[in-house]
Amino acid sequence: MIRSFMLMALSSGITLTCDAEQPRTSDPAPRIFTIAQARAGKVAYESSCGLCHQFNMQGRTGAPGELPDVNSLPENMIKTIDQNGEQVPPLVGPRFMAHWGAKSTKEYVARVATAIEGFPPKNAGNDTALQLTAYFLQMNGAKPGKVPLSAAISVSLFAATGLGPL
């Protein structure tokens, strides 16, 4: 029976995927940011945040080969990384969601705003923390919609991304 289903699926062009690490919830995720916010967040991320968290958003563990090379970073970033034992948390994936998934977008926007005070992205403005949050949500599987993310929106990151608790 399973073999017949698999053959039928393959022959009809259906793609079957399985994500064992982060199961999707059965409820559709709310679309709480716009594509324009996520795009602006990506630009901001690449100008500042990505230097410490890496451009792949996986954070730092002190392992050789992490890019950009820590010694190429501005002195204030090197100092912060050194003070944290060469550890910089990831902004995507299971570790990120385990820490932030149950927290609200409102809490996360506030955390991002605090973080960028010390390391402001180029051309940072009043909406930069919201734009970065939109980008981080998108990179964790959330889909953009028509309503812009605002500081008043408060849904869990699990709900926003459609990912269930780990």
Q: Which domain holds residue 125?
A: 27-161
Distance CA 6, CA 111 (A): 45
- The whole-number pLDDT of residue 21 equals 46
Confidence of residue 24 (pLDDT cuts 50, 70, 90): low
pLDDT higher at 146 or 164: 146
Confidence of residue 164 (pLDDT cuts 50, 70, 90): confident
Q: What is the mean pLDDT of the chain?
A: 86
Task: Give a yes or no: residue 2 inside a domain.
Answer: no
Task: Give a yes or no: residue 15 inside a domain.
Answer: no
Domain count, the chain: 1
Task: Give a yes or no: residue 19 inside a domain.
Answer: no
Distance CA 148, CA 158 (A): 18
Q: Which residues of 104-121 are buried (b: 16+ CB within 10 A; e: fewer)?
A: bbeebbeebbebbeebeb
